[in-house]
Amino acid sequence: MRIQLKTYQRALLALLSIALLSAGWLRVSGLPLLAAFVPLLLISASYGPTRREWWRMAGWTALVMGLWCVATCWWIYYAAAVGIVAATIVEVVLFGGVVMIYHYFSKRARKAHAYTTLVAGWLWAEHLYLHGEISFPWLILGNGFAGDVWAVQWYEFTGALGGSLWVLVVNILLFEWLLNRRNRGLAATTACFAILPLVASLIIGTTVEEKGTATETKVTVVQPNFEPYTEKYSIPSAEQLRIMGSLISEAPADADFIVLPETVIGDNNDPIWEHIYLNSKSVSHFERLRSERYPASQLITGAMTYHRYAGQHEASPTARRSGSLWYDRYNAALALDRDSTLKVSHKSRLVVGVEKMPYMELLKPLEKLIVDLGGTTGQLGTDKYRHTFLLRNHRHPYGISVAAPICYESVYGDHFAAFTADGAQLMMVITNDGWWHDTPGYRQHFSFSRLRAIETRRWVCRAANTGISGFISPTGRVTQTLGWDLRGTLTESVYPATKVTFYAKAGDYLGRIGTYLFILSLLYYVSYRARKRNHLVG
């Protein structure tokens, strides 16, 4: 069915779609997402199958996808101006491309086929954005419900991509109902798909035990509040250590864990070499403070660390070279306790362009040229395996396992949940959100941890250099926070959990299913057109 729309009506619909898409990230609500694609689908329905009209639809699609990205992620500009440009381009090309494939199919194939392509294609695009070399999955549709955790308690079964699937299906049903308003059965079906997940969420939420039968565990998170652009480099290292030592001393004597944020130690003046890590002034300072005041505790801190190799033959693909020395540089989490062995976890999901050079294997042949020009093709090293930290003390004689995802890793649901599948009973997110200044960025980042708590049914203890430090229960409930531009500590009694959720076991299975269906949908269309053409020829 083709509907008649004037240019100004299409413009109003495009603006409405942008507003509905953005609401979940702008602290309004994620529920408007359930109707956010309807205006765009109406614009699509107003165009015919010609090439000229296809390009006109492409213009509206690019406008919606681009301005949605800018409206919600403009704050990336403070960290890297090129970042918001790159993110917008990828959003327009990848997700806008899926919409345009749907638009093309809707004029030439069966309606069910076009809708299947839209849903499967969008899930494929989100899966690719989560697992590809170029990755910034901030605008995964399911992330838009981070402020409405009461509505998505079922994420423990589906992850955030379940929210994306819900959004897409309800939008299609609502669009069909608008075209067929007298169809009461369609109206009832649309209402059921929109409301039943909310009812199920409320029921599931009442069954979750936040405390359970586990032993109470005391955790202190530290927020030193060093402004990353100036204070981090202008305040002498000794003074920074003194401030952090003073904050650590605010922890109660019976604290089990004391958690400091990302990269608070390990600068060029005090490098941390992992084979001699106690030679670092900052590490030895923290270890001395811990052993004297908190002998039964484990101190977890973010650090920049180095690992050296005996030679090029042992070096990893990400290794750097300085003279005859080959080494890797890591964004890491260190755990210090009465066990003198090094406990370290390296960040594996890296920020593209800042910590990671995508498609390094393609750039490798140019390495000598780039180095000669004063650059580098290197990146931070990563772990091949996920590492957890184990603490044993009088309160936990059998040990308690914790994981410390670093900053950006808390955006990736399946990566985060996999720590719990590997035995983590508590999650300690360490981050530095000061790069984005006082903008929606750090608030969005904190809210994503609420979804991660639901997906894993774990307590999340979050230590930010500046941004929001705090504690989140297994239902996504925020119990304590320390907000922007504040220096201090928070202590909370949390409860370890051992049950592994279905999502933690299965990962982003909806993304994988969407990928298979999208490929099959494309192949079916090619086959369908070929058969139709041959029939006409015959």
Contact 393, 296 (CB under 8 A): yes
DSSP secondary structure letter of residue 238: H
d(CA 339, CA 287): 11
Closest CA to 259 of 464, 424, 477: 464
As to burial, measured by CB atoms within 10 angstroms (0-12 exposed, 13-18 middle, 19+ buried), residue 81 is: exposed
d(CA 243, CA 248): 9
Q: What is the mean pLDDT of the chain?
A: 92
233 φ, ψ (degrees, to nearest 5): -110, -20
Contact 4, 46 (CB under 8 A): yes
| pLDDT tens-digit series, residues 94-134 | 999 999 999 999 999 999 999 999 999 999 999 999 998 88
d(CA 201, CA 157): 11
Closest CA to 408 of 195, 137, 152: 137
The CA dihedral of 476, 479, 485, 489, to the nearest 10 degrees, is: -130
| pLDDT tens-digit series, residues 195-233 | 999 999 999 999 999 987 778 999 999 999 998 888 887
Contact 218, 211 (CB under 8 A): no
Q: How far is CA 391 from the centre of its chain?
A: 27
d(CA 206, CA 200): 10
Quote the Cα angle for 415-155-29, to 5°.
110
Task: Specify the pLDDT at position 363.
Answer: 55
d(CA 80, CA 64): 23
pTM here? 0.93
Q: What distance, in Å, lies between the first and last C-alpha atoms of the chain?
A: 30
Contact 529, 521 (CB under 8 A): no
| pLDDT tens-digit series, residues 450-490 | 999 999 999 999 999 988 999 999 999 999 999 999 999 99
| pLDDT tens-digit series, residues 488-524 | 999 999 999 999 999 999 999 999 999 999 999 999 9
Task: Specify the pLDDT at position 267.
Answer: 84
Instruction: Record the tokens describing residue 161, joined without a space.
Output: 């991509």
Task: Specify the pLDDT at position 129.
Answer: 93
Closest CA to 512 of 79, 170, 165, 203: 165
- Tell me if residue 376 falls in helix, strand or coil: coil
Task: Find the helix packing angle between 38-45 and 96-108, rounded to 10°.
Answer: 40
- List all residues 6 or more positions away from 446 whose beta carbon is below 8 Å from its beta carbon: 433, 462, 464, 467, 468, 470, 481
Confidence band, pLDDT 50/70/90 cuts, at residue 364: low
Quote the Cα angle for 240-290-483, to 5°.
50
Is it the case that residue 75 has pLDDT exceeding 90? yes
Query: H-helix or E-strand containing 307?
Result: strand 298-309
Closest CA to 362 of 133, 537, 527, 143: 133
Task: Specify the pLDDT at position 231.
Answer: 83
d(CA 123, CA 119): 6
Task: Specify the pLDDT at position 133.
Answer: 85
279 φ, ψ (degrees, to nearest 5): -75, -15
